Amino acid sequence: MAPRGWSCWRWAARPRARLLPGAAFPFGFRQLLSTLELAPHICVVGSGPAGFYTAQHLLKHHPRAQVDIYEKQLVPFGLVRFGVAPDHPEVKNVINTFTQTAHSTRCSFKGNVTVGRDVSVSELQEAYHAVVLSYGAEDHRTLGIPGEELPGVISARDFVGWYNGLPENRKLAPNLNCDTALILGQGNVALDVARILLTPTELLEELREMINLPGSRPLLDPADFSGLEELIKEAPRPRKRLLELLMQTALKPPKAKEADKRAENPRAWGLRFLRSPQEVLPSPDGSRVAGIRLAVMRLEGSGQNAQAVPTGTVEDVPCGLVLSSVGYKSRPIDPRVPFDPKLGIIPNSEGRVLGVPGLYCSGWVKRGPTGVIATTMNDSFLTGEALLQDLEKGVLPLSPKLGYSIIEPLLKNRGVQPVSFEDWEKLDAQEVAQGQAAGKPREKLVDPQQMLHIIKQ
């Protein structure tokens, strides 16, 4: 069986010497030959995992596709660079795969271009045969409680961006001198944030790591875990292992030597369940956060039907820093692109944007901010496959389109300076060199003006 996408190019692949003069063919047949020789120009918006995996699938399964990847940051890789905790470098290894994709002669990276501001989606659709929106979830869900605007209340997304060198968060300046930091949420991001706060900078090493963190001790209420042995037997294996670890830590008293050692540790962390934030409490002068009021909840029902309901009791917890980790959400990118504000996604069917032929989406903006990088990879491949099917079936007519050749003068007239992948590699080399001088893998550049200056050198 011929590889995908090859059969539709067979006529163009035959030696031209065997073709009769053009005048000998009916007009429609000559037009077909001309169309078959056209390469589809595809634009991907966003250079995180969703964008690169979509581009990878298109390039791999269509021998003539030309893919341009647009990114609002000056640097590529999205959450792999700005979201993965610095003590999990192995997760960042996918950058090597993305770099191979970027080095393809049929792929081009256009950084420092904000779609929806510097160029509209409509303009991209005029220039490209297909546009794929893969810009992720760039915002955070708010708590919707009084006091949320106080200094010292920060979204976990911004905090992660700050310690990962995201330029827009470089001036965040969180207060790390307080005795207590309270994190609302217990997902992966919340655990990352807690681990980073607790870990000595010389030993930055998920939940299993936190239990064994040097200089830290876990504070878990045994009552929260009693009676779970039978309930977790049918749980999926990863969740079962997680709960078993928590139960062992909470219910099994440490030996005397270990207990004494833990008591000496200056830092502590704990998980509190069945608590719902009601209000952020201000300091006496109202200048910043001093605590948070939590409603104590209880479960009604069992299994999938269990619901947390208020008990009528509240609990005030003093703290100097509140990090909200209750989820990410996508933003609408362009008024002409359909968007569901409640779900925070672009309405779509298998990646095809509803009501807009030639427009596609992949990743979190397609399905919501769930899953890990492998989930995004499979999701992006499915979107890429849908696009290829539409090309194969003629749903996307291959009329002559010039791609970036049309967009480039528009950006120039608007004072936008696009950054190429070669420019990024120059910045990358600078970061590595600065890091080696400081005895670490890299020192991230966070000032866009400094980055542009390095590129121009």
Strand partners, 115: 119
Integer Rg of the chain from CA = 26
Query: Helix, strand, coil proportions of the chain in percent (round to 5)?
Result: 40, 20, 40
Judge if 251 and 170 occupy the same domain.
yes
Residue 259 CA to residue 268 CA, distance in Å, equals: 13
Judge if 383 and 283 occupy the same domain.
no
Tallying the residues shown for the chain, one arrives at 457
Give residue 22's pLDDT.
36
3-state SS class at 376: helix
What residues contact 317, with CB distance under 8 A and at least 6 apart?
180, 182, 291, 292, 293, 294
Residue 233 lies in a domain: yes
Domain boundary residue, one of 328, 351, 379: 328
Residue 192 CA to residue 406 CA, distance in Å, equals: 43
Residue 439 lies in a domain: no
For the ranges 70-84, 99-113, 200-214, 376-390, the lowest mean pLDDT is seen at 200-214
Q: How many angstroms separate the Cα of 30 from the Cα of each of 22, 35, 168, 234, 402?
A: 7, 9, 53, 64, 21
Give residue 6's pLDDT.
30
Residue 294 CA to residue 279 CA, distance in Å, equals: 7
Q: How many CB atoms lie within 10 A of CB 428?
A: 17
Judge if 249 and 269 occupy the same domain.
yes
- Which segments of 223-300 does DSSP mark as H helices, in order? 237-251, 256-264
- Identify the burial level of 390 via C-beta atoms within 10 angstroms of its C-beta, where 0-12 means exposed, 13-18 middle and 19 or more buried: middle
- Residue 83 predicted with pLDDT over 50: yes
- Residue 221 predicted with pLDDT over 70: yes
Give residue 352's pLDDT.
98
3-state SS class at 412: helix
Residue 238 CA to residue 27 CA, distance in Å, equals: 62
Angle between helices 421-437 and 448-456 (to 10 degrees): 110
Residue 292 lies in a domain: yes
Specify the CATH number for the domain of residue 407.
Answer: 3.40.50.720
Residue 210 lies in a domain: yes
CA atoms 192, 198, 202, 206: torsion sign: negative
Domain range for 383 is 38-138+330-419
CA atoms 395, 401, 404, 408: torsion sign: negative
Give residue 24's pLDDT.
39
Judge if 254 and 379 occupy the same domain.
no
Judge if 126 and 149 occupy the same domain.
no
Instruction: Please answer whether residues 258 and 249 qualify as being in contact, where contact means their C-beta atoms are separated by less than 8 angstroms.
Output: no
3-state SS class at 143: coil
The CA-based dihedral angle spanning residues 76, 77, 81, 84, taken in that order and rounded to the nearest 10 degrees: 170
Give residue 88's pLDDT.
65
Judge if 287 and 171 occupy the same domain.
yes
Structurally, the chain folds into a number of domains equal to 2
- Identify the burial level of 182 via C-beta atoms within 10 angstroms of its C-beta, where 0-12 means exposed, 13-18 middle and 19 or more buried: buried
Domain boundary residue, one of 328, 362, 378: 328
Q: Which residue has the tokens 């647009």?
A: 70
Report the greatest alpha carbon distance in the chain: 95
Judge if 169 and 69 occupy the same domain.
no
pLDDT band at 3 (very low <50, low <70, confident <90, very high): very low
For the ranges 46-60, 63-77, 232-246, the lowest mean pLDDT is seen at 232-246
- Residue 328 predicted with pLDDT over 50: yes
Judge if 235 and 119 occupy the same domain.
no
Residue 7 lies in a domain: no
Specify the CATH number for the domain of residue 229.
Answer: 3.50.50.60
Residue 2 lies in a domain: no
Judge if 213 and 312 occupy the same domain.
yes
Judge if 160 and 296 occupy the same domain.
yes
Give tens-digit pLDDT for 157-180: 888 888 888 888 888 888 888 888
Give residue 1's pLDDT.
37
Residue 231 lies in a domain: yes
Judge if 183 and 45 occupy the same domain.
no
Residue 311 CA to residue 440 CA, distance in Å, equals: 50
Give the pTM: 0.75
Residue 32 lies in a domain: no
Domain boundary residue, one of 294, 328, 362: 328
Average pLDDT of the residues in 185-211: 72
Judge if 347 and 233 occupy the same domain.
no
